[in-house]
A and B are shown apart, each in its own frame.
Chain A
Amino acid sequence: MKINFSLNGRNVDVETPSETRLSDILKDNAKIGSVHTACNKGECRSCTILFNGDAAASCLIPAFEARSSEIVTLEGFSKTDDYHDIMQAFEETGTTLCDLCRGGTILTIYSILERFAEPDEGQILDAFRGSICPCTNIRIIIQVVKKTALYRRRKRFGRK
């Protein structure tokens, strides 16, 4: 099957069997380094992308569903101000993420902030439910999300 989609603002054409996981297409055909596949079951988040604007597990999206879609990976997202706000918050908490979960964690944080201007703990915990990263404490993630929300509010609404 021939599919066409927008990847980080670029048009991409791929010839692939219809059931191929989008995560495999991104890794193998488009050579995207931030997408990993640790479980292929939608659990580990290492394959998270923004799919038509929403965070999604690319391992659960078959090629035929990706036709005409708009995909943003960490590579594309890292050119945005939102990315820099999130990274600044991580730096302030003295945390670094490993390669496997960087994409999933950052894009999940972004999707929380797109939904809630001032996310509460429950909303953050819900978004990170089932996260299997054993090294970054969820308390740190909560701090990062809250800090980033604050930077965004300051920028967007002039609030403290």
Chain B
Amino acid sequence: MAFINMKNKEVQAKIVYYGPGRCGKTTNLEYIYQQFRERIPSEMVSIKTHGDRTLFFDFLPFDVGKIKGYSIRMQLYTVPGQIKYDATRRLVLKGVDAVVFVADSLTVQREQNLISLKNLQDNLAAHKKDIYHIPLIIQYNKRDLENQGIPVMSIEMMENDLNEKLKVPSIPASALKGNNVVVTLKKIISMTMASFQKGL
């Protein structure tokens, strides 16, 4: 849940990047960190294994600037995607305001995307949040592999698998190359802000 500080006129909200293991959540945050050094008041925090897999979360506080006189800080988090880390994943979702679901375009990851999306729904429910009501975007990541001779799913197929019922905004991207990473971030920020408009 977002927190408004009436005294300092500051809003803090939490955006979580969710998705299966190795889909590119950490890579999204790393790209944002590189691009916006000046808006980020501190170092990126990553709790990870020696093999660079997220163990608990990555954390990046991001200054959006002022809206209606309030300075807005979005706290960006990733979860660990590996199935065995479900307990820590649920902890990271605590107080979440919006979610970017990063789906892996690799054909071999089709089943993993579905499992992870279902897991998101369950873990949101554990925090009394509804996947159909929280601001949510699906990012189809690793589109750069399309022309590399590696089997990649079409956008249509992924929409059918993941977004048929949800009908949320979806964006093809390459976190590695930086394509549409910032577009994804801007979109989820504006959806988060829209969900707050009533409150401010």
Please indicate whether A and B come from the same complex rather than being unrelated chains: no
Interface of B toward A, CB cutoff 8 Å = none
